[in-house]
Amino acid sequence: MKFLAPNAVLGGLIIGIIGVCALFGAVWTPFDPLKINFAARLQPPGPVYWLGTDEFGRDVLSRLMAAAATSVWISLLTVTAAVSAGTVIGLLTGYLRGWTDRILMAFNDALLAFPGILLALGLLAVMGANKYGIILALGLAYTPSVARVVRGTVLSLREKEYIDVSRVMGNSEAYTMARHILPNCVAPLTVLATSMFGWVLLAESALSFLGLGVPPPAPTWGNMLASSRSFIVQAVWLGIFPGLCISLTLLGINLLGDALRDKLDPRMRGV
Amino acid sequence: MATTELLRVEGLRLAVARTELEVVKNVSFSVAPGEIVGIVGESGSGKTLAARSIMALEPPAIRRTAGSIRFEGKDLARLPPGELRRLRGSRIGMVFQEPMTSLNPSMLIGRQLDEGLALHRDIDAKERRALILDMLRRVGIKDPEGALAAYPHQFSGGMRQRIMLASVMLLRPALLIADEPTTALDAVVQRDVLELMVELTREHGTAVLMISHDLSMVARYTDRIIVMCKGEIVEQGNTQDLLRHPRHPYTQKLLAAMPRRLPKRDLSTSVEPIVEVRGLVVEYRGRQGFFRKEPGKRALHGVSLAVRPREVVALVGGSGSGKTTLGRAIAGLLDPAGGEIRFAGRPVRRASESWANYRLNCQMVFQDPYSSLDPRMSIADIVREALRLVPEMAHREKVDRVREILHDVGLDDTFAGRYPHELSGGQRQRVAIARALVRRPAFVIADEPVSALDVTVRAQVLDLFADLQQRHGFSCLFISHDLGVVEQIADRVIVMQDGQIVEEGDRDTIFDQPQNPYTVKLLSAIPALEGTASGGVRLRWRFDDMPHSDVATA
């Protein structure tokens, strides 16, 4: 019986559209997102500039598309970094236990105790705001939660008898980890990575909003939102469209994440 | 008629909601006041659902499509919810299978016992306390005052089941429904709890509906037995008659599946043992904190044993006896603190030269077929993985060997590509056995390999195991708490208690002339079977005249 929940379809659709825009935005936009044109300052949405122009006369739609490319790329890299680092730490601590576990987890918990955004803020203040600084800072901020999830899964998996079976066969610990433990961590990791993508996107926007993100004039949804603040009365579209982009993406990702969790949760399997 | 019947279930049908799937089909039975009735069946027979629907406790996905349940003349289906609640607990009590989860872990025992009394009886707190203390003393709790202020986790499984029983019997119900009340307990504790349950209910004239998969256990305590299979009652009648003259083929199959002693095998005893264990000591380390180290616990106190080629040695004992620890230590899953293990005359130690050879020749079959197979690997991959470290074997050869062993355990080619969750418990255990045997090991450790299986499946798997053992000629250390199974399969028996071997001998000696009181106690929990001419059995309880202590052992 193969049917998709309406939530999953809606989520997939939203993310699909954003994804296409981001891909598109990376190579082509209707106007140059950085080109200043004072003649067309603060134009409301119309037939030429579909979503209007900003205070420098730049096309909002083009900027949104370019920003999508930047945001999605940053989020993807951050999630990949956090998931890889967290998985390695989680596997090591969960499987080896002992002092490795205690020391790494103490460090991990200390990191977890900081709000992610605060940690990223601190790091960015030290390293300076640029694309890779953000990836590093956010990646570091989100690694501990991945490590926690993986460690928890590993701890429950290592009590399974097939782990003992693998040892009795004479398999090395590394082989057992790679063959029997890692593949069984994939389901919870996929779910976590999906929702993390949303969090990172939001965090990146928040950092940009605070002026610690990708520096202007390069557009991101967060810094577009930030610069719209001063024009909120004259040009309400400047704030609405980036805000809408962020909300819609998060909605889509949450819907998709829920559907994925239902699909991959072993307790739901075979029901 | 209505006056002589306490409970009458008529034409009961239960179906999975929103589907046509019937899980209980046209079930009718009755229970007289004070009568003890057993419902026996394997998993999926609908026995638990049928019993739970009496209390209207069937899961939400199950709905009743037909039938009536009359209790003391009232139709429970027509009763308003309020009245049904008054009946639950006060007139119909229930004891569940899992004593770990049927008591609320965050509530004091005293408060939990008080809950039902306060709800259903109109007496003040002082009287209730007196009643509770009386009942706790009656079920054999040594320090009832102390127990009132204790939490469930401070008691062992057997004790918890006694407390559960006390909480139910406090209200003196007319009917007690016991759903697999002792399945989670080991054989000796199981017997203690059941004896207590039967005594208590006799005292109060409470009728009991006992649900179990264990025919011999039910046969011992019940007046009447109802046999269920695939949602239907296939046979019901007086316990003795039903056992001696089973009419329905399914009942005959159930009886035939009960383990029985096979003729003694002829093994030459003069040969050198293949596996020898000398003075093995295993310690579990205590918690190692930053500031203090807690003392460890010694699980094995210098155990020595030997297994000869082709021999099946059974290791028996209650829970906590150290039998599983011993098995795991011999398999190399635990590092012993002392003693040595010798294989084929040479000592084996991790990283020694003989270790690799031992690893290839010693395999293990685990208890739980649901957790011993990696859910993400296909059956063929699972079995073939065992050949990964076998030197000098071509891929083609491995594939052939896997197919051959799967055939040996009765799984045809269609199984190779399937995944564990598509298989039944019995089939999974066959895969686990195939995986252990595919390397052609000389020595197999089987840790409770059949205790998670249904009765008829267990019989099949045991037969298969015995047959493979004959053909491949491996030696086996068979760890089990179930002496019935041991009687069928073992050549020699080793009895363990508290990390030590208390008795050892060949099967017939141990079963017929046990010396150690602990062995006697273990044996008194299982019946000896005598076949009757009509395809039935007569159960004989060993050492029934022995005084049985009223204080729990675990």
Query: Which among B348, B379, B385, B387 is the top mutation candidate for probing chain A, defined by the most A β-carbons within 10 Å of its own β-carbon?
Result: B385
B375: chain A residues, CB-CB within 8 Å: 184, 266
Q: What is the pLDDT of residue B452?
A: 79
Measure in Å the smallest separation between the Cα of B375 and chain A Cα atoms: 8
Most confident of A49-53, A251-255, B182-186, B524-528: A251-255
CB contact under 8 A, B385 and A183: no
Tell me, yes or no, whether B36 and B140 share the same domain: yes
Residues 6+ apart with CB under 8 A from B429: B365, B369, B449, B450, B452, B453, B461
- Give contacts of B 13-72 with A, CB under 8 A: none
Tell me, yes or no, whether B80 and B219 share the same domain: yes
Q: Can you tell me the mean pLDDT for A108-127?
A: 83
Q: Give me the CATH number covering residue B302.
A: 3.40.50.300
Q: Does some domain include residue B541?
A: no
Report the residue of chain A nearest B375, measured CA to CA: A184
What is the spatial distance between Cα B410 and Cα B467, in angstroms, rounded to a whole number? 12
CB contact under 8 A, A161 and B332: no
Q: Are B228 and B46 in contact (CB under 8 A)?
A: yes
CB contact under 8 A, A165 and B332: no
In the sheet that holds B7-16, the strands lie side by side as B22-31, B7-16, B62-71, B74-75
Q: Give me the CATH number covering residue A116.
A: 1.10.3720.10
Q: Does some domain include residue A38?
A: no
Tell me, yes or no, whether B132 and B26 share the same domain: yes
Instruction: State the DSSP code for A37.
Output: -
CB contact under 8 A, A171 and B386: no
Nearest to B148 by CA among B186, B113, B175: B113
Distances (CA, A) of B369 to B366, B449, B463, B474: 7, 8, 17, 22
For B440-478, write each residue's pLDDT tens digit: 899 999 998 888 788 888 888 899 988 999 888 899 999
* DSSP bridge partners of B496: B501
Strands B232-238 and B224-229: antiparallel
Measure in Å the smallest separation between the Cα of A170 and chain B Cα atoms: 6
Measure in Å the smallest separation between the Cα of A132 and chain B Cα atoms: 37
Q: What is the pLDDT of residue B478?
A: 94
Chain-centroid distance of CA B413 in Å reads 32
Of B331, B362, B371, the CB nearest to A162: B371
Q: What is the pLDDT of residue A237?
A: 85
The number of beta carbons lying within 10 Å of the beta carbon of residue A200 is: 26
Report the residue of chain B nearest A182, measured CA to CA: B376
Q: What is the pLDDT of residue A40?
A: 76
Nearest to B184 by CA among B49, B371, B319: B319
Which domain, by its residues, includes A218?
78-266
CB pairs under 8 A between A and B: 55
Q: What is the pLDDT of residue A86?
A: 93
What is the spatial distance between Cα B247 and Cα B234, in angstroms, rounded to a whole number? 9
CB contact under 8 A, B373 and A169: no
Q: Does some domain include residue A41?
A: no
Examine the pLDDT at B353 and tell me if it is beyond 80.
Answer: no
At residue B326 the predicted structure's pLDDT band, cuts being 50, 70 and 90, is very high
Q: Does some domain include residue B267?
A: no
The region of weakest confidence among A114-128, B156-170, B325-339 is A114-128
Q: Please report, as a single letter, which amino acid is at residue A40.
A: A
CB contact under 8 A, A161 and B388: no
A161: chain B residues, CB-CB within 8 Å: 366-368, 371-372
B372: chain A residues, CB-CB within 8 Å: 160-162, 164-165
How much is the ipTM here?
A: 0.73
Query: Which among A169, A181, A269 is the top mutation candidate for probing chain B, defined by the most B β-carbons within 10 Å of its own β-carbon?
Result: A169
Measure in Å the smallest separation between the Cα of A179 and chain B Cα atoms: 9
What is the spatial distance between Cα B206 and Cα B52, in angstroms, rounded to a whole number? 18
Q: Please report, as a single letter, which amino acid is at residue B391.
A: P
Tell me, yes or no, whether B373 and B521 share the same domain: yes
Instruction: State the DSSP code for B261.
Output: P
Q: Say whether the peptide bond before residue B181 is cis (omega within 30 degrees of 0).
A: no
Q: Can you tell me the mean pLDDT for B224-235?
A: 91
Q: Does some domain include residue A20?
A: no
Number of domains in chain A: 1
Nearest to B143 by CA among B109, B99, B182: B109
Tell me, yes or no, whether B383 and B511 share the same domain: yes
Examine the pLDDT at A97 and tell me if it is beyond 50.
Answer: yes
Of A160, A169, A183, the CB nearest to B386: A169
Which domain, by its residues, includes B146?
7-244
CB contact under 8 A, B333 and A167: yes
* Backbone dihedral angles phi then psi of residue B285, each to the nearest 5 degrees: -70, 145
Examine the pLDDT at B269 and tell me if it is beyond 70.
Answer: no
Strands B475-480 and B36-40: unpaired
Q: Can you tell me the mean pLDDT for A46-51?
A: 79
DSSP codes joined into one string, B282-300: EEE---B-SS-B---EEEE
The region of weakest confidence among A42-56, B218-232, B502-516 is A42-56
Q: Can you tell me the mean pLDDT for B535-552?
A: 61
What is the spatial distance between Cα A140 and Cα A132, in angstroms, rounded to a whole number? 12
B388: chain A residues, CB-CB within 8 Å: 169, 171
Torsion of CA B390, B396, B397, B402, to 10 degrees: 90
| Tokens at B340, concatenated | 């040595």
| Tokens at B119, concatenated | 């709800």
For B508-521, write each residue's pLDDT tens digit: 899 888 999 989 88
What is the spatial distance between Cα B258 and Cα B222, in angstroms, rounded to a whole number? 18
CB contact under 8 A, B373 and A162: yes
CB contact under 8 A, A165 and B371: no
Query: Which among B18, B333, B370, B371 is the top mutation candidate for probing chain A, defined by the most A β-carbons within 10 Å of its own β-carbon?
Result: B371
What is the spatial distance between Cα A128 and Cα A126, in angstroms, rounded to a whole number? 6
Torsion of CA B116, B122, B125, B128, to 10 degrees: -60
A116-127 and A131-157 helices, crossing angle to 10°: 140
Tell me, yes or no, whether B219 and B281 share the same domain: no
Q: Does some domain include residue B211?
A: yes
Q: Can you tell me the mean pLDDT for B138-162?
A: 86
Q: Does some domain include residue B33?
A: yes
What is the spatial distance between Cα A232 and Cα A245, in angstroms, rounded to a whole number? 17
- Give contacts of B 354-413 with A, CB under 8 A: 356, 359-360, 362-364, 366-368, 371-376, 385-386, 388-389
Q: Does some domain include residue B543?
A: no
- Given CB atoms, is B429 within the 8 Å cutoff of chain A? no
Q: What is the pLDDT of residue A116?
A: 76
Instruction: State the DSSP code for A179.
Output: I
What is the spatial distance between Cα B38 and Cα B235, in angstroms, rounded to a whole number? 12
Tell me, yes or no, whether B239 and B326 share the same domain: no
What is the spatial distance between Cα B316 and Cα A158, in angstroms, rounded to a whole number? 26
Q: What is the pLDDT of residue B553?
A: 38
Q: Does some domain include residue A113?
A: yes
A168: chain B residues, CB-CB within 8 Å: 331-333, 359, 362-364
Q: Are B311 and B506 in contact (CB under 8 A)?
A: no
The number of beta carbons lying within 10 Å of the beta carbon of residue A243 is: 15
CB contact under 8 A, B363 and A168: yes
Nearest to B16 by CA among B46, B56, B51: B46
A101: chain B residues, CB-CB within 8 Å: none
Q: Are A93 and A219 in contact (CB under 8 A)?
A: no
B425-437 and B395-408 helices, crossing angle to 10°: 130
**H-helix or E-strand spanning residue B410:** none
Of A161, A169, A270, the CB nearest to B372: A161
| Tokens at B21, concatenated | 């799937």
| Sequence-ordered alpha helix ranges (H) in chain A | 6-27, 60-96, 98-113, 116-127, 131-157, 161-169, 173-176, 182-209, 221-228, 237-264
Measure in Å the smallest separation between the Cα of A105 and chain B Cα atoms: 14
Report the residue of chain A nearest B433, measured CA to CA: A165
Of B356, B366, B376, the CB nearest to A164: B366
Q: What is the pLDDT of residue B294?
A: 66
Examine the pLDDT at A134 and tell me if it is beyond 90.
Answer: no
Q: Does some domain include residue A180?
A: yes
What is the SS3 assignment for A64-118?
HHHHHHHHHHHHHHHHHHHHHHHHHHHHHHHHHCHHHHHHHHHHHHHHHHCCHHH
* DSSP bridge partners of B63: B15
- Compute the mean pLDDT over every residue in chain B, rounded to the nearest whole number: 85
For B213-226, write each residue's pLDDT tens digit: 888 888 888 999 99
Measure in Å the smallest separation between the Cα of B359 and chain A Cα atoms: 6
In the sheet that holds B492-497, the strands lie side by side as B362-365, B443-447, B475-480, B312-316, B492-497, B500-506
The number of beta carbons lying within 10 Å of the beta carbon of residue B136 is: 25
Terminal C-alpha separation, chain B: 44
CB contact under 8 A, A270 and B421: yes
Q: Does some domain include residue A26?
A: no
Q: Does some domain include residue B56?
A: yes
Of B362, B364, B375, the CB nearest to A165: B364
**H-helix or E-strand spanning residue B13:** strand B7-16
Examine the pLDDT at A80 and tell me if it is beyond 90.
Answer: yes
Number of domains in chain B: 2
Measure in Å the smallest separation between the Cα of A151 and chain B Cα atoms: 18
A167: chain B residues, CB-CB within 8 Å: 332-333
Q: What is the pLDDT of residue B177?
A: 92
Q: Does some domain include residue B341?
A: yes
What is the spatial distance between Cα B42 and Cα B215, in angstroms, rounded to a whole number? 10
Q: Does some domain include residue A55?
A: no
Tell me, yes or no, whether B280 and B202 share the same domain: no
Q: Can you tell me the mean pLDDT for A224-243?
A: 86
* Backbone dihedral angles phi then psi of residue B70, each to the nearest 5 degrees: -105, 125
Tell me, yes or no, whether B281 and B424 share the same domain: yes
Tell me, yes or no, whether B235 and B281 share the same domain: no
Q: Does some domain include residue B548?
A: no
Measure in Å the smallest separation between the Cα of B27 and chain A Cα atoms: 27
Tell me, yes or no, whether B144 and B228 share the same domain: yes
* Backbone dihedral angles phi then psi of residue A92, each to the nearest 5 degrees: -60, -50
> Is the Cα dihedral A255, A258, A263, A264 positive or negative?
positive
Tell me, yes or no, whether B236 and B310 share the same domain: no
Q: Does some domain include residue A247?
A: yes
CB contact under 8 A, B376 and A266: no
Examine the pLDDT at B3 and tell me if it is beyond 70.
Answer: no
